[in-house]
Amino acid sequence: MDIFADQVLLSRIQFALTASYHFIFVPITIGIGLIMAIFVTRAYRTKDAEDDALARMWVRIYTATFAIGVATGITMEFSFGTNWANYSRFVGDIFGAPLAAEALFAFFLESIFLGFIIFGRNKIKPALYVASAWLTFAGSALSALWILIANSWMQTPAGAMLSPDGNEAWITDFFAAAFNPSTLPRYAHTVLALLVMGAFVTIAVAAWYMHKGRNSRAANAMLRVGGVVGVISVAFLLVAAHASAVEVWEQQPTKLAMMEGQYETEAPELSAFGFVDEESQEAVTLGIPGGTSFLATGTWDAEYPGLNELATYEQFDGLEVDQLPVNFVYQVYHIMVAMFGLIVICLLLALIFGRARAKHGVKNMKWLQWLLIISPVFPFLAIQTGWLTAEVGRQPYVVYPSNSGPEGVFLHTDVATSPSVQPFEVVITLALFFLVYLLLFVGWWRVVARFVKAGPVHDKPANVADAAAVEAAGISFKNVGTDGAVEAVAVEAVETEGGAK
């Protein structure tokens, strides 16, 4: 079929594009939200000017990233109605309550206290300023909970029943729906991954300063904070990821079978990498036989139904095995796992060589500096591929007929779109999303790169217009006086130094 006439496919591409893009900035925002709150608290406790400058740099990076996360999040809320009208009609009775809770509990919290962080330095008490930083972070972490409740319900529906006409899912028990079988493991898995992302961004900035041989005190502090947050998050992440995998094993058999490329019923292996040929239904893989079975159940030979057997189950309502994107799900899942390995290696290296007084440390190891500078790519890829595993692995259903789900409460993706939206309209908006999101990314990169380059300095500019601009960006100083000019020169010097190298 011509892709430009396939409204379902176009809507799926648009959702995948906008959700993935949104999910670039959400992890950075929530991840560095914690880092920002930590540095703001630190500056409050030490009352040290350098610590204060470092905290302010992270506030600036945080607010610029927060803005783009919020902006691209509006797309997600609107898109349920614009592109997925039939889906909205089906799940509205259930999906709406968490969404309303997200807005009331989380969005107001984060956006209003963000106003205090950006503009409130001279207006509120320092302790309240610290509280605002933590409340903003809490708000963003809370908004992640509600949207994951909604998404987890689509993976493992609960607390609901099918309406008598069969067209809607009706809520019967709010808490059963909100804390459905996959909510808690998936929330923990996701939020911990986001914190790892924040830790790696922090470590990368520290490594870049070490590479440039500047801001050594701030760099050491960032390397330490990033390392500690990273290690703690990764340790818990391992537990949460395991719980997610067990949940998939118990609840979403077709997803698990796709993740391991398993067409026939057997004890699933734990493969490192491979390739699944969907036509011949053969998987060429390297792995431990029965490994996945062992991880999920503790025994090496627990049989698991393959896709061909699952297709015969009434539960899956005429599943067409040859239409399933098995190789895609297999690959993204295994990329995620491989990235986790790289994350652990990077963290270990950063910890071993990160001690400030060590003779042989990150600060004089060029190769390690470079590795750490590019290292945010690993959690970034892990997060993107992990999310793709969860969402593509759920296909061909938008609401998945999970093992413990209520009778009849599921929905096929291809009947979930908006009947009144023409394919050409989606083509237009897809093109616009490309353009606008590209502009956003370039704009964001310019701003954040500039903040990082300027670094944790008291950048009090010399002329008034710029001072006003910086002031509004959240960097306010009560005593713009003689030293303002001196420090402005310092910024210039730093920027030219950066450019010269």
Find, among 411, 356, 338, the residue nearest to 154 by Cα. 411
Give the tokens for residue 163. 């309406």
Axis crossing angle, helix 482-500 with helix 423-454, rounded to the nearest 10: 110
R_g of the chain computed on alpha carbons: 25
Q: Return the number of the residue (312 or 422) whose C-beta is nearest other proteins.
A: 422
Q: Are strands 411-412 and 397-399 parallel, antiparallel or unpaired?
A: antiparallel
Query: Rounded to an integer, what distance in angstroms lies between the CA atom of residue 420 and that of residue 88?
Result: 14
* C-beta closer to other proteins: residue 68 or 346: 68
Pairing of strands 397-399, 282-288: unpaired
Which element (helix H / strand E) includes 132?
Answer: helix 126-155
User: Which residue, among 184, 199, 217, 457, has the nearest Cα to 343 in the 3D structure?
Assistant: 199
Query: Distance of CA 392 to CAs 389, 441, 448, Å?
Result: 6, 25, 32
Decide: helix, strand or coil at residue 277: strand
Q: Which helix (H) or strand (E) holds 276?
A: strand 270-277
Residue 495 CB partners (closer than 8 Å, separation 6+): 453, 454
Residue closer to other proteins (CB basis): 332 or 447: 447
Query: C-beta of 399: minimal distance to other proteins in Å?
Result: 14
Query: Coil, helix or strand for 460?
Result: coil
- Looking at the DSSP assignment, which residues form a beta bridge with residue 284? 275
Q: CA-to-CA distance for 293 and 312, rounded, in angstroms?
A: 22
Least distance from other proteins to the Cβ atom of residue 424, Å: 8
Cβ–Cβ under 8 Å, residues 118 and 474: yes
> Minimal CA–CA distance to 368: which of 229, 198, 234, 223?
223
CB of 382 within 8 A of CB of 346?
Answer: no
Tokens found for residue 7: 């409204």
Q: What is the DSSP letter of 103?
A: I
Residue nearer to other proteins on the CB measure, 98 or 306: 98
